[in-house]
Structure 1
């Protein structure tokens, strides 16, 4: 007899994979968004060199989350793919352009400016698409059972455009604080200067989305305002992290702004999770509705529990090997 809920375990694994992807790949996408605003070409070299050894490993979490979702909750794809096909295609196309730019920019002299643009636009498009997908999840899908009956562009609304822009601002903030940690000299000073402005942009968008969401989804409004609960601790902690970013940047701390930005993302993500839990396909399909057979979940779980420690070990080892500052004129390539 089964004594544990495999759907809950898989929801935890997929949720962990998603937040790991956001944290790990978010800052290098953010660097791409900031690329055109860098003070000079040397600064762009430092920005790209700071993530060149690790960016492809960061995307492992996207593969893990997507594959786990397909295996554990296959019915989700019957809604998500037709509803989000264009948005997901744009995200993958952006990630491809960003990846190609990593390899070719350092090898091209005469056409380097084109690879700069590919790196920037690939990062921006992929980030905006991710934010729009999150916004679509918040506003819900038009379904009959597990069949999507909405239009191909229902994912593109004023609300999802705002969440897409908010994701761009958030990833840019992650990128700027990462650059504070990894750079020095005029590059670091530039990152210090832009971080408070990016933080202000994130907070403005966060406030608008927070005020708008209860009108988009009545169940979220009921969960947050229907009764007093510890759920309000999450935005309080997120705002504490935001204050920490501002304070530590003002005091020219190097590592703490990045850690506080990670914390801000984590608490915001947890706020989204508790707002929707246990719904996996809004407005009303839960993780148990979408789950595959327990035998399938158990079979896949044995493999994933073997893979995750390997990925975590490899990720930690990569960050340890390439720790320290990235200096102008030096690089991974």
Structure 2
């Protein structure tokens, strides 16, 4: 039986990107929630909930990027030139966010400046990730395996709204995480904030979905004209069920369920994205097989990935297990 290496690599990269969105999404979301909580102690507790794990969360961004480079090098010659500016700004945002993590606790007079860096870095990184997603969905101009569009093709109302949608998604994830990890007044405030955030998130999902169907004929054909409707039809129903479940769990004061159901919404949105572009890796025309490196290169990289990926997964699982439980004011952290 012949192994379809491009499909295996597409699954590995897809898994890595989703785990990154799931994990780094909620700690970016904490930065987006900072403006709603100005008390120094509240902000310190919020940071302490992710202080032990945020570095490990970004491992999966490296996995996705390295996997693309090794398995689908053509993607680098098409996706990157089409999105140079938002990708560079994303990295700048991650740098500011990381620096703020390390330095705000050591600062005295300049702590507010580092708080601002944390807020702006988190927001910039999330916004740019959404813009890249939007530019990917609307399609990238490719000829002979090369990008032939302009430097600002990524800039469109659709891609900008996708950026706003990712901001809302990450903020909702962060709120769910803080309901799980905090207690007392801060947790009550997070529960109050969760309801409007979920409503705005549902609205953003609805607008993006309708915009995709109406404004992007290639994606609409993939949903309704290529036999994929059966796969896609349960997605909106399950999203509505998750939103209802979040409202119910907040009302009943469940601690883990709002976060779990928000993760489920992210998974459903991600599955909708995969249905929209499969088997292309760079829409509208570059498939995973056309973008692949040689089978020997993919096989060589796969051997290393099979060894390293379980170690990464076990390491991340262990850090969440070790640092499970509530984070309270006065606990050791980034001071």
TM-score normalised according to structure 2 size:
0.97
The answer to whether residue 179 in structure 2 is matched with residue 175 in structure 1 is no
Q: Tell me the residue number matched to 2:322.
A: 321
Residues 196 and 246 of structure 1 are in contact (CA less than 8 Å); yes or no, is this contact kept in structure 2? yes
Dislocated runs of 4+, deviation >3 Å: none
Q: Tell me the residue number matched to 1:17.
A: 16
Mapped partners of 1:126, 1:320: distance in 2: 27
Q: Tell me the residue number matched to 1:198.
A: 197
The answer to whether residue 63 in structure 2 is matched with residue 64 in structure 1 is yes
> How many Å apart are 1:110 and its aligned residue?
1.1
Residues 249 and 258 of structure 2 are in contact (CA less than 8 Å); yes or no, is this contact kept in structure 1? yes
| CA distances 1:199-238 after superposition (whole Å, capped 9, x unpaired) | 1111111111110002332222122223552321122222
Residues 30 and 174 of structure 2 are in contact (CA less than 8 Å); yes or no, is this contact kept in structure 1? yes
> How many Å apart are 1:180 and its aligned residue?
0.2
Q: Report matched runs for 1:1-333 at 5 Å.
A: 3-226=2-225, 228-333=229-334
Task: Give SS of 1:209's match.
Answer: helix
Residues 29 and 171 of structure 2 are in contact (CA less than 8 Å); yes or no, is this contact kept in structure 1? yes
Give the count of matched residue pairs.
332
Mapped partners of 1:147, 1:16: distance in 2: 26
Q: 1:275 to 1:127 in 2, by over 3 A?
A: same
Task: Give SS of 1:212's match.
Answer: helix
Mapped partners of 2:266, 2:103: distance in 1: 31
Mapped partners of 2:302, 2:211: distance in 1: 38
Mapped partners of 2:239, 2:307: distance in 1: 33
| CA distances 1:268-309 after superposition (whole Å, capped 9, x unpaired) | 100110111001111111000000000000000000011110
> How many Å apart are 1:187 and its aligned residue?
0.7
Structure 2 alignment gaps of length 5 or more? none
User: Please, which moves more after superposition, 314-323 or 214-223?
Assistant: 214-223
Mapped partners of 1:302, 1:194: distance in 2: 46
Residues 6 and 288 of structure 2 are in contact (CA less than 8 Å); yes or no, is this contact kept in structure 1? yes
Residues 39 and 190 of structure 1 are in contact (CA less than 8 Å); yes or no, is this contact kept in structure 2? no
Structure 1 alignment gaps of length 5 or more? none
Residues 91 and 130 of structure 1 are in contact (CA less than 8 Å); yes or no, is this contact kept in structure 2? yes
TM-score normalised according to structure 1 size:
0.98
| CA distances 1:124-160 after superposition (whole Å, capped 9, x unpaired) | 0000000011000100011212211211111111001
